[in-house]
Structure 1
């Protein structure tokens, strides 16, 4: 075998996998989105955008992403810095913090539902300390802000570890000599973080933010478990089109809209956090 062909042989299985389970289904979905009984048109997209729930779902999805992702970024940076400085127990702490990664989205939603529901922990605590006389419906339509807070807290708890793992790995690649030199010249810990950690961590930040933002637009099970129909998001609308309304073409069109939004935000992140040539994650 020609040695020049060896790298291509290694990536061949991955390429075939992506073509079979990503590109081929994507082509089918795209074709379905643009196909109507009258032929190829944008009618499915017009129908989806004209539906009264679309702006509400888009607003809710964007609001959730705008609130949750920055909080997760700040928490993951803080947690990664703490883990990176630990001399003992580092692996144990990192393991405990990443436990939510092993829990499915729906299971995480049910865990937080057990906290906020009328017979849940939070109501029991409030009754126990005398804040209320009897359990109240915290996640009812009367409390839309609390529904949002519950969903945001569940998402922060469930998915912060995704960014944490990436940032811990990135911090581990920063040469210690940089910190030692900065300390010799009298740089404070905060200045070392701003001048060394953040610039050197840019490739990892880029990867973590892109992954988390894309997943933020795909939030579904946690929202359904905690908010149900009280907090519609884009993915719940796709589910409704596909299974409740039996309109696969509209579901495909909305899926492509979500993909387009994800691509736009990905390009913005790539632009803002451009990685210099030769940098590693």
Structure 2
């Protein structure tokens, strides 16, 4: 019996089925460009805000006004800081505030203040305030970040102050009394300006002439004349240390009638002045 011949393979039927052809779409795959949509979508938030401001006339006016006020305040403050680099600081907001507090009262309204150049003030006095208030003054750039960090770490109901001499000068010369974030921000701004423009020697000179040293008394020359009856150029180490000891609160503490705390604080400052090496510590300001 003859074997039946094999049928040829039906290649057409055994071929893999073809994928169904995708239906034709009436919408093109390329997204049409819609004016404004793509640019706004890809723009940053700042660019979106600027565009929104430009589209609102009143906001544009306010924006331009704020820019002009900012520039005006910046250049005026810059010019004022430059001028005070060379001109004695006769009046500060604190002096005005203290004088106004005496208006309508029985307290004497006379202000004791006399400007003396840095060269005419005893270097013992300059060393005393650096030793008591800001020992890093010759090296920092207006802010003692180590002191700030230590003050924030301390567990106190009232955080101790960590202001440098530069910050105190900026606060006393340019700003009002009080506590607020705006005032603190301005203090940082003016501190940076005087560090950049004035330099260390001028900052210390202004501090020694505007710091409150007693009731209605400002500057070490006025304090020396009023409480020691001689000029600040002849202040001894102990006398300078006592003036520096009352600086944190010259209304409560007294130079002429020192409490036990002030006497102890005076001895501590005198010791710090010796530990720092004496007047050579501030020689290269």
Instruction: Identify the TM-score tier after normalising by the shorter chain.
Output: under 0.3
Say which one has the larger Rg.
Answer: 2
Report the TM-score, using the length of structure 1 for normalisation: 0.24
Q: TM-score, normalised by structure 2?
A: 0.24
